[in-house]
Amino acid sequence: MQYDDDVSQPNQLPPDAVLFQALTGFMVSRSLSAVAELCVADALRDRPLTGSELAHAVGANERFLRRVMRLLVSVGIFAEPTPGTYALTPVAELLRSDHPNSLRDLAAMLTSESHWRAWGELTEAVRTGSSGSCLAFGTDAFTWFQRRENKAQWDLFNAAMTSYSAATSMAVVQSYDFSRFRHIIDIGGGRGFFLRTVLSKATQASGTLFDLPGVFEGGGIDTLGGRIACVGGDFFTSVPEGGDCYVLKHIVHDWDDERCHTFLGNIARIMDPAGTVIVVDMVMPDGPEPALAKVADINMLAFTEGGCERTEREFAALFESAGLQLKAIHTTPIVSVVEAVKRREDAGGQRAR
């Protein structure tokens, strides 16, 4: 096949350059993780620093750090206001550990052992249909996380999920009104960042944070003055009763249809007939257009046992199998709020934008 090499159009690259950029994308990702782990953005919080000052502040080799910073400046993450001096940009501000929407922990986690080794098995995962985690660790990721020797990785994963929540939670509460609910139960809610964000808007509601007991070890969870109860358990076995809203944020995409059917069915069986289920996940578009959901979907392929990002039709079928019914989908710039109710034969779904 012969390609037209005309590159006269602005920003148009020849095919080999496009492919090379795609192939080397992981090098940028790993560099971002490295500077996140070194807390480079924290060191630059108050003022720009020279390469020497920055290396001293974060305890790094100056020459090597300069080379990594040169790459990250070139792709627009950091700035270089004068040669050899580095500064934050609005993008790099998000790598500060004290930023209200910090993504530092997420940046550190995405190329940490738990993901790096699983992604390393992607070819075999595609060949065999087994997850990268099982191929790398001999078990699923969440079982691997619970081993004593992997506690640091489990802590980093939970911190990363809180970090990600900071980026998405406000968008969710701005696009969906939770104020009509009296008791909101967050299934698999981690350490409660998302539930606290929801309750900050639904000021008359109480909440229950439900997750594996190990998530709550060590305490330190802000319960909003007692408005949140922390309950340990396994949602494949049962879920707490008494909620008129059950929220699953980035939970459904972790599991295959069969296992989603189990925990969604557990919710449907004990939920009040007028209750609501809210799934916060990406919705996969049907067309060929670029979408973050398509990247996230391959992360699910590598990291989870059958997890995936789903289309609207796939969500509808999944809910139907569990005794629920898709009611509406509310979109935000990153994720969608997928709303379901108990299945009613005379009700139809609708899509909200």
pTM for this model (two decimals): 0.85
CATH 3.40.50.150 fits 169-342, yes or no: yes
Task: Assign domain 15-99 to a CATH class.
Answer: mainly alpha
pLDDT digits (tens, 9 = 90+) for 189-243: 988 999 999 999 999 999 999 998 888 877 788 999 999 999 999 999 999 999 9
* Mean pLDDT over each residue of the chain, to the nearest integer: 92
Task: Sheet with 78-82: list strands edge to edge.
Answer: 49-50, 85-88, 78-82
Provide the pLDDT for residue 158: 86
Going by their DSSP bridges, the two strands 183-187 and 245-249 should be labelled as parallel
The pair phi, psi for residue 63, each rounded to 5°, is: -65, -45
Q: Give residue-wise pLDDT tens across range 329-344.
A: 999 988 999 999 998 7
DSSP string, 78-111: EEEEETTEEEE-HHHHTTSTTSTT--HHHHHHTT
- How does residue 11 score in pLDDT terms, banded at 50, 70 and 90? low
User: Which of helix, strand or coil describes residue 12?
Assistant: coil
The answer on pLDDT for 312 being more than 70 is yes
Token pair in block for residue 225: 């003055």
The domains of the chain are located at: 15-99, 100-168, 169-342
What is the per-residue pLDDT for 177? Answer: 95
The 10s digit of each residue's pLDDT in 254-301 is: 999 999 999 999 999 999 999 999 999 999 999 999 999 999 999 999
8 A C-beta contact, residue 36 and residue 107: yes
Say how far apart CA 342 and CA 327 lie, in whole Å. Answer: 10
pLDDT over 90 for what percent of the chain? Answer: 85
Please report the pLDDT score of residue 184 as a whole number.
Answer: 98
Q: From its phi and psi, is residue 95 left (phi > 0), alpha (psi between -120 and 50) or beta?
A: alpha
* Residue 109 pLDDT > 80: yes
Indicate the burial class of 173 (C-beta count within 10 angstroms; 0-12, 13-18, 19 or more).
Answer: buried
Report the distance separating Cα 337 and Cα 282, nearest Å.
Answer: 8
Note if 115 is an active site residue. Answer: no
d(CA 342, CA 215): 30
Catalytic residue among 99, 115, 250, 253: 253
Q: Which residues of 120-134 are buried (b: 16+ CB within 10 A; e: fewer)?
A: ebeeebeeeeebbbb
Residue 345's pLDDT band, with cuts at 50, 70 and 90, is low
pLDDT per position as a tens digit, 166-204: 778 989 999 999 999 999 999 999 889 999 999 999 999
* Region at 225 (left for phi over 0; alpha for psi -120 to 50; beta for the rest): left
pLDDT at position 352: 47
